[in-house]
């Protein structure tokens, strides 16, 4: 049975409205459960997501009016400003998730955060070095924003892979909020990449793919709703054998991060042997001179 374009458009609009409602619901649950204290950047991201949509829709509506061509400029700048802000916030959310996942092992967390920041920096630098700047000036902003967001998406996938593989070692519960957030972002990122890869190859399937794409977004939002709605498993004190590898690594990392008392590190001598002999002779001569003076 063929679906008319009108019905398909209506269904798509319904899915979009459902999606926005879910975003608002997640924001509300996040706020009610005071999760913004543990994940402040995630809270900011949800706030941006919920607040920016009506504003951008209003700017878009005005720009489509016969009298509102000037509003297109506003829409252009607002759109890319929100896009860039989202990308930066998502980078910070990744650090938040990483920190929360390793919170039971403070030594490893401290050293892990340093390495993770370096990984972010390298990823961003590599992304910028591979961007082909088609435009110049302000028009290059979309190139930069899309490149940065792509880098963030890859990072989200890597973070999810890390959590999945090291979950047992970190004693991270499947019901932990940090894992829930990473899972939602991972599903969204994978969905984006798969959609972007399939669309140009199967133009005849675009309408169907868009439905699958939107459905997967709703799945990732449903994951977040369930994580926000149901109580998190209480974190038990970490119990592990004293000879376990991860415990030892944590001890080593803690020792590395300790400032403790300061010690003087002996610098290599930069004087010659003869200079030292000279100094000794000078001291002896001065002492002898003082001895003679006291005798006379």
Partner 1 sequence: MKFVIRAFALTFVLAGAAAVSLSSATTSTAANHLSATAGLPVPICGPNAPCPPDPWGTHAR
Residues in touch with partner 1 (CB under 8 A): 16, 19-20, 45, 48-49, 52-53, 56-57, 60, 72-73, 75-77, 79-80, 82-83, 85-87, 90, 134-135, 137-139, 142-143, 146, 149-150, 152-154, 156-157, 160-161, 163-164, 167, 174, 183, 185-200, 203, 217
Under 8 Å CB-to-CB from 151, ≥6 apart: which residues?
A: 123, 124, 126, 127
Whether the Cβ atoms of residue 154 and residue 192 lie closer than 8 Å to each other: no
Q: What phi, psi does 112 have (nearest 5°)?
A: -65, -40
Q: For the CB of residue 72, give the shortest distance to partner 1 in the complex, in Å.
A: 7
The residue among 138 and 252 lying less far from partner 1, judged by its C-beta, is 138
The residue among 191 and 250 lying less far from partner 1, judged by its C-beta, is 191
Buried b (16+ CB within 10 A) or exposed e, 149-170: bbbbbebbbebbebbeeeeeeb
Q: For the CB of residue 150, give the shortest distance to partner 1 in the complex, in Å.
A: 6
Tokens of 50: 């919920």
The residue among 190 and 240 lying less far from partner 1, judged by its C-beta, is 190
Whether the Cβ atoms of residue 127 and residue 119 lie closer than 8 Å to each other: no
Q: For the CB of residue 235, give the shortest distance to partner 1 in the complex, in Å.
A: 16
Q: For the CB of residue 261, give the shortest distance to partner 1 in the complex, in Å.
A: 45
Whether the Cβ atoms of residue 180 and residue 232 lie closer than 8 Å to each other: no
- Integer-rounded Cα Rg, in Å, for the chain is 30
User: Where do the H-state alpha helices sit in the chain?
Assistant: 5-32, 40-63, 71-101, 106-130, 141-170, 177-198, 206-229, 245-257, 273-295
Tokens of 89: 């916030």
The residue among 195 and 249 lying less far from partner 1, judged by its C-beta, is 195
Of 143, 135, 138, nearest in space to 73 by CA: 138
The residue among 62 and 199 lying less far from partner 1, judged by its C-beta, is 199
Q: For the CB of residue 203, give the shortest distance to partner 1 in the complex, in Å.
A: 7
The residue among 111 and 156 lying less far from partner 1, judged by its C-beta, is 156
Q: For the CB of residue 34, give the shortest distance to partner 1 in the complex, in Å.
A: 22
Q: For the CB of residue 100, give the shortest distance to partner 1 in the complex, in Å.
A: 17
The residue among 111 and 148 lying less far from partner 1, judged by its C-beta, is 148
Q: For the CB of residue 152, give the shortest distance to partner 1 in the complex, in Å.
A: 7
Whether the Cβ atoms of residue 239 and residue 189 lie closer than 8 Å to each other: no
Whether the Cβ atoms of residue 213 and residue 195 lie closer than 8 Å to each other: yes
The residue among 35 and 149 lying less far from partner 1, judged by its C-beta, is 149
């Amino acid at each position: 049975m063929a679906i008319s374009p009108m019905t398909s458009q209506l269904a798509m609009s319904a899915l979009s409205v459902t999606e926005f409602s879910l975003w608002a619901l997640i924001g509300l649950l996040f706020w009610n459960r005071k999760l913004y204290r543990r994940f402040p950047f995630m809270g900011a991201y949800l706030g941006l997501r919920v607040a920016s949509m009506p504003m951008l829709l209003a700017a878009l509506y005005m720009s489509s009016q016969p009298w509102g061509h000037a509003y297109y400029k506003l829409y252009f700048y607002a759109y890319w400003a929100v896009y860039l802000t989202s990308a930066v916030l998502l980078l910070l959310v990744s650090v938040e998730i990483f920190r929360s996942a390793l919170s039971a092992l403070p030594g490893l967390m401290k050293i892990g955060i340093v390495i993770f920041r370096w990984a972010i920096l390298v990823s961003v630098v590599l992304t910028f070095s591979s961007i082909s700047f088609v435009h110049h000036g302000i028009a290059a902003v979309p190139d930069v924003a899309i490149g940065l967001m792509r880098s963030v998406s890859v990072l989200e996938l890597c973070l999810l892979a890390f959590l999945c593989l090291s979950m047992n070692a970190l004693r991270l519960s499947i019901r932990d909020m940090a894992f829930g957030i990473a899972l939602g972002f991972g599903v969204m990122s994978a969905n984006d990449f798969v959609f972007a890869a399939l669309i140009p190859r199967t133009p005849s399937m675009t309408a169907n793919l868009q439905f699958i794409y939107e459905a997967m977004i709703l799945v990732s939002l449903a994951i977040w709703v369930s994580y926000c709605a149901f109580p998190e498993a209480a974190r038990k004190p970490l119990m592990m054998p004293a000879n376990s590898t991860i415990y030892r690594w944590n001890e080593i990392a803690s020792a590395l991060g300790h400032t403790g008392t300061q010690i003087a590190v002996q610098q290599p001598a930069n004087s010659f042997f003869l200079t030292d002999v000279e100094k000794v002779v000078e001291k002896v001569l001065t002492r002898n001179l003082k001895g003679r003076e006291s005798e006379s």
